[in-house]
Amino acid sequence: MAWMTLKKRKRSTWPFWMALLLFGNVYSWTRSDNEPPTSPITPTMAAALPIAKATPPRAASPSVVDLTLPKVATAAYAVPTFASLNERQQFERRVCKAVIAIEFGRDPVSMFASSIQGEPHYVSYIRPNDGTLWEYLCRVSGRNVVWSIPNGRWRNSYTAGDTEFRFSTSNSDRTLMIEGRHFDGSSTRESFILAAL
């Protein structure tokens, strides 16, 4: 009987974010050929573009998703296109971690991000000085990024003093550039190496 209560107590003390961090969603790391492509560039458009290259077909069995930045269809800084929904979600989670890191002055490496298809991305971190858990929601739409606290308002009212966040990527050095434009006209720019997020 003591073993049962000990086991129950151990399970109940695990926070939600730790369970996700340790066990995660296995399906977010695999893809199959049955998934529809989410790229806005069709094969005929890709053939017409000098920079875009058609990707070879994938094997029929599920494979590990390549987490490097995919090829983009324009030069310099642009929004990348993706071969699968999983790649897009992984990239958007990295963008959200970078935006929350800029807004609150935290290290993005210490943050945890997760997402469910069709829902905002969940970003959290533990503040080192007092051990409290801080949670945020984040949405990426085109090049714009907005965030919120759970059960709070979305920070997209730029005239009310919210910071407008936009991102771009560079395919040559695999960097993510985040620009935050503040209400007073000033702006903040920071770049991150995608592999480090």
pLDDT digits (tens, 9 = 90+) for 135-180: 999 999 888 999 999 988 888 877 678 889 999 888 766 888 999 9
Tell whether 54 is covered by a domain: no
Query: In sequence order, what are the residues at sequence separation of 6 or more whose Cβ sits closer than 8 angstroms to the Cβ of residue 190?
Result: 98, 102, 177, 178
Q: What is the pLDDT, as a whole number, of residue 194?
A: 84
Tens of pLDDT, residues 36-46: 444 445 555 44
Which structure tokens are listed for 99? Answer: 């935006």
Report the length, in residues, of the chain.
197
Q: Note whether residue 33 is domain-resident.
A: no
State the residue range of the domain holding 120: 85-193
* Interval 6-18 mean pLDDT: 42
| Domain assignment present for 131 | yes
Q: pLDDT over 90 for what percent of the chain?
A: 23
Neighbours of 91 (CB within 10 A): 22
Question: What's the pTM value of the predicted model, to 2 decimals?
Answer: 0.58
CA-closest candidate to residue 100, choices 8, 2, 197 = 197
Per-residue confidence (pLDDT) for residue 148, from 0 to 100: 93
Instruction: Give pLDDT tens digits for 54-85.
Output: 444 444 444 444 444 444 443 345 566 776 78
- What is the domain count for the chain? 1
Is the residue at 9 inside a domain? no
In-domain check, residue 77: no
